[in-house]
A and B are shown apart, each in its own frame.
Chain A
Amino acid sequence: MNIELSDITRKFGRTVAVDGVSLDAGPGVLGLLGPNGAGKTSLLRMLATILPPSSGQLVLLGRDPAKPGGRREIRRGLGYLPQNLGYYPSFTVVEFIEYFALLKEMPPHLVPKAVAAAVEKVDLGPKARAKLRTLSGGMLRRVGIAQAIVNEPELLLLDEPTAGLDPEQRVAFRALMRDLGQTATVVVSTHLVEDVGAACSEVAMMASGKIVFRGTPRELTARGEAGQGVGDAPLERGYSAILAAARTAAS
């Protein structure tokens, strides 16, 4: 298992962002669904070792991120795309990706080819030497994806990766996720259920900091058919049915 979470809680003052989450995941693409404020981003930040949990046990890639040595090893095998990708406007696409490849402690002699491969995977070859300030929002998102995959991570964490991508790019990106999920654990936090249906082998749904559903996209669809979900697509109906049930249980 690349991810082993046991009763993880994260509090910000009195607010409980993540509430007793237990989760295991091996290679594959895990979709993390949920409404705004459900705790998806906080959970992803804990998986990215940026945010320590308030309580609970967290083991990533077989190591304990609370220990500096373990954290460093995890980060070498980690790819992370935050929800709001900050970038340096004066850097070129290649410089930006190379910078993060070096910060991930990739062996320097492997970096140029890895950068080129990542740029090609996100189809940014023609813009490789363009300054980041000249790129559109969708292109910047692809730069973010490229820096996340440049080290061929064992654990890839993507927060809203398809936001700003055009339909063609989204289809290409889903294929890339499926491909990466063959060997790595890919966790994708998203609002877009169609991304989950097309790319994810498993789904975890969060509401009020808790995991309220874990299963395959097919099982999520089945919940919609059985329950009283609303939405245009079967997956959306499954999503809303589970959310409605979670809200009823909470109240």
Chain B
Amino acid sequence: MTAPDDVDLDRVWTGVAAEVWRRHPGRLERTAAKLLKSPGLARALLTTQSLLFPWLIASTVVLAIGALTQVAADQPLVWLLTPAVAAIGIAYAYGPGVDPAWELASSCAVSDRMVLLTRAVVVFAVNALLGLAASAATLGTRAEAHTAQLTFAWLLPMTAVCALTLAAAVAVRSAVAGAGAGVAAWILFVLARSALATPQGPGQSAAVNLAAAVTDPNLYLPYLAVAACCAAVVYYVTRPQRGTQ
């Protein structure tokens, strides 16, 4: 039995193969695609952990920095700069040095910076979940305080900040603007934490403590560092593009 002349068998076969090989995205991926307004970003989000070597490097960096913040918990400079170190670690892990397909991904329409932001969210979120599990498992033991500090003072706040960064980046379609929102949120978090940690005197409110924290001379150096970073970002974004002179 032969097919009629007007039937394109190659086309039919491709249609069959497409149905057989089709991957059905799960509910999480479909939801992420809607929230991120990009099926490509959603796919990148869910493939983050399957890139095992980058995942291990990024997680190690994030946890090591979390441990560092515990050692220097009362140093605002450490708290203000550690997210930048974590971001550099994640960018390295999912960057040209380690990610085997980085060059290929860099030639794609979905911005590599947006992909990097989604990676950061997953790295912090999954480690925060592991931290919560570890906190529950170590309840009543000597490690309880350490795991709780790592989870609640570092991993969970950073997950929230990264999620905010990604949300802002998606909303304004700019990874740089999203990063600006994330930096601002983290500075607020560190200042608020510092204010709440300061003992309140008679008639002194947390708001007064917050104001005192904001104007703390010890923070001038971190302020300058953050201002320099912001200036560098603004310069980078607004620099004259090569090849258009």
A residues contacting B by CB (< 8 A) are 8, 48-50, 52-58, 64-67, 72-73, 75-76, 78, 80, 82, 84-88, 90-91, 94-95, 98-100, 102-105, 108, 112-113, 115-117, 119-120, 125, 128-129, 147
Contact = CB atoms under 8 A, between A and B. Distances in A.
Contacts, number: 121
Nearest to B33: A108
Interface string B48-70: 00111000000000000000000
Contacts of B105: 100, 103
A129 B242 contact: no
Given A53-B243, A128-B17, A94 B23 contact: yes
Given A50-B107, A88-B101, A103-B40, A98 B23 contact: yes
For A56, A64, A105, the residue with the greatest tally of chain B CB atoms inside 10 Å of its CB is A105
Contacts of B7: none
B238 interface: no
A158 to B, nearest CB: 12
B104 A100 contact: yes
A115 B21 contact: yes
A75 B242 contact: no
A116 B21 contact: yes
27 contacts: A50-B103, A57-B244, A58-B243, A66-B241, A66-B242, A66-B243, A86-B100, A86-B102, A86-B104, A87-B100, A88-B51, A90-B52, A91-B50, A99-B44, A100-B104, A100-B108, A103-B40, A103-B108, A104-B40, A104-B108, A112-B22, A116-B15, A116-B17, A116-B18, A116-B21, A119-B17, A119-B21
A80 B106 CA distance: 10
A48 B106 CA distance: 9
A78 B103 contact: no
Contacts of B50: 88, 90-91
A88 B100 contact: yes
A178 B68 CA distance: 58
Contact of A50 (B44, B51, B106, B110): B106
Number of contact residues on B: which range applies?
35 or more
Contact of A80 (B18, B33, B104): B104
Contact of A105 (B15, B38, B104): B38
Contacts of A104: 40, 108-110
Contact of A76 (B14, B17, B102, B109): B109
Interface of B: 10, 13-15, 17-19, 21-23, 33, 38-40, 43-44, 47, 50-52, 99-111, 115, 241-245
B33 to A, nearest CB: 8
Given A50-B103, A87-B101, 12 more contacts: A49-B107, A54-B242, A66-B242, A67-B244, A82-B103, A86-B99, A86-B103, A100-B105, A102-B39, A112-B21, A116-B18, A120-B10
For A53, A67, A103, the residue with the greatest tally of chain B CB atoms inside 10 Å of its CB is A103
Contact of B40 (A49, A55, A86, A105): A105
Please name the 5 residue pairs, one residue from A and one from B, whose CB atoms are nearest each other, closest first: A86-B100, A66-B241, A103-B108, A116-B18, A102-B40
Contacts of A8: 243
Contacts of A105: 38, 40, 108-110
B39 A113 contact: no
A103 B51 CA distance: 16
Nearest to B101: A86
Contacts of B103: 50, 82, 84, 86
Contacts of A129: 21
Nearest to A113: B18
A120 B244 contact: no
A58 B14 CA distance: 37
